Amino acid sequence: MSDQQTSDKQPYFITTAISYVNGLPHLGHAYEAISADVMARFKRLDGFDVHFLTGTDEHGQKVEKTAIAADMAPKAFCDQNAAHFREMARTLNLSNDDFIRTTEERHIKASQAIWKMLADSGDIYLDSYAGWYSVRDEAYFDEGELTDDPDNVGQKLAPSGAPVEWVEEPSYFFKLSEYTDKLLAFYEENPDFIMPATRKNEVVSFVGQEGGLRDLSISRTTFNWGVPVPGDDAHIMYVWLDALTNYITALGFPGDGIGGVAGRDAAYKTHWPADLHIIGKDIVRFHAVYWPAFLMSAGIPVQKRVFGHGFLNIEGQKMSKSLGNVLSPDAMINEFGLDQLRYFLMREVPYGQDGSFSHEGIVQRINADLSNDFGNLAQRSLSMINKNCGAQVPSNAALNDDDQAMLDAAANLVAEMRAAFDVQAFHTALEAMWTVIRAANAYIDAQAPWKLRKEDPARMEAVLYTLAETIRRLGILAQPFMPTSAGKMLDQLAVPGDATASGSVFGAGLSGLDLSEDIAEGGEGVDLSGQSGPNASANLPRQFAAVTDPAYMLAPGTVLPAPEGVFPRFVEAEAE
Q: Which residues bind ligand MSP (CB under 6 A)?
A: 17-20, 28-29, 31-32, 57, 243-244, 246, 279-280, 282-283, 311-312, 319
Residue 179: CB minimum distance to ligand MSP, A: 18
Residue with Cβ nearer ligand MSP (298 or 417): 298
Beta bridge partners of 153: none
Residue 210: CB minimum distance to ligand MSP, A: 28
Residue 119: CB minimum distance to ligand MSP, A: 21
Phi and psi at 130, nearest 5°, equal -135, 110
For residue 242, which amino acid is it? Answer: D
Q: How many CB atoms lie within 10 A of CB 209?
A: 13
Long-range contacts of 206-210 (CB under 8 A, 24+ apart): 206/285, 206/289, 207/180, 207/183, 207/289, 208/180, 208/184
Residue with Cβ nearer ligand MSP (252 or 310): 310
CA distances 104 to 274, 317, 350, 473, 513, Å, are 21, 36, 36, 43, 40
Residue 93: CB minimum distance to ligand MSP, A: 18
Residue with Cβ nearer ligand MSP (29 or 109): 29
Residue with Cβ nearer ligand MSP (241 or 553): 241
Residue with Cβ nearer ligand MSP (58 or 416): 58
Q: How many CB atoms lie within 10 A of CB 284?
A: 22
Residue 500: CB minimum distance to ligand MSP, A: 29
Helices 457-478 and 376-388 pack at an angle, to 10 degrees, of 140
Identify the DSSP state of 290.
I
Residue with Cβ nearer ligand MSP (117 or 312): 312
Residue 195: CB minimum distance to ligand MSP, A: 14
Residue with Cβ nearer ligand MSP (95 or 102): 102
Residue with Cβ nearer ligand MSP (32 or 49): 32
Q: How many CB atoms lie within 10 A of CB 52?
A: 26
Residue with Cβ nearer ligand MSP (20 or 225): 20
Q: Hey, CA dihedral for 508, 510, 516, 522, is it positive or negative? A: negative
Residue 250: CB minimum distance to ligand MSP, A: 11
Residue 20: CB minimum distance to ligand MSP, A: 4
Residue 239: CB minimum distance to ligand MSP, A: 8
What is the distance of C-alpha 112 from the center of its chain? Answer: 28
Beta bridge partners of 124: 174
Nearest CA among 149, 213, 153 for reference residue 181: 213
Give the three-state DSSP class for 195. Answer: strand
Residue 122: CB minimum distance to ligand MSP, A: 25
Residue 277: CB minimum distance to ligand MSP, A: 8
Residue 3: CB minimum distance to ligand MSP, A: 28
Rounded (10°) CA dihedral 194, 199, 201, 206:
-100
Identify the DSSP state of 301.
P
Residue with Cβ nearer ligand MSP (310 or 568): 310
User: In this structure, are residues 333 and 512 in contact, taking their beta carbons and an 8 Å threshold?
Assistant: no
Residue with Cβ nearer ligand MSP (140 or 443): 140
Q: Is the peptide bond before 159 cis (omega within 30 degrees of 0)?
A: no
Residue partners of 523: CB distance under 8 A and separation at least 6: 500, 501, 504
Long-range contacts of 330-334 (CB under 8 A, 24+ apart): 330/91, 330/507, 332/27, 332/30, 333/91, 333/92, 333/505, 333/506, 333/507, 333/510, 334/507, 334/509, 334/510, 334/511
Residue partners of 198: CB distance under 8 A and separation at least 6: 352
Residue 27: CB minimum distance to ligand MSP, A: 7
Residue 310: CB minimum distance to ligand MSP, A: 7
Residue with Cβ nearer ligand MSP (349 or 486): 349
Residue with Cβ nearer ligand MSP (180 or 246): 246
Identify the DSSP state of 275.
S
Residue with Cβ nearer ligand MSP (53 or 384): 53
Q: Which residue is nearest to ligand MSP (CB)?
A: 280
Q: What is the C-alpha to C-alpha distance for residues 22 and 84, in angstroms, rounded to an integer?
A: 11
Residue with Cβ nearer ligand MSP (320 or 435): 320
CB-neighbour burial class of residue 42 (10 A; exposed 0-12, middle 13-18, buried 19+): buried
For 315-435, list the strands marked E by DSSP: 355-357
Q: What is the C-alpha to C-alpha distance for residues 339 and 342, in angstroms, rounded to an integer?
A: 5
Residue 434: CB minimum distance to ligand MSP, A: 24
Q: Hey, CA dihedral for 432, 433, 438, 440, is it positive or negative? A: positive
User: In this structure, are residues 469 and 396 in contact, taking their beta carbons and an 8 Å threshold?
Assistant: yes
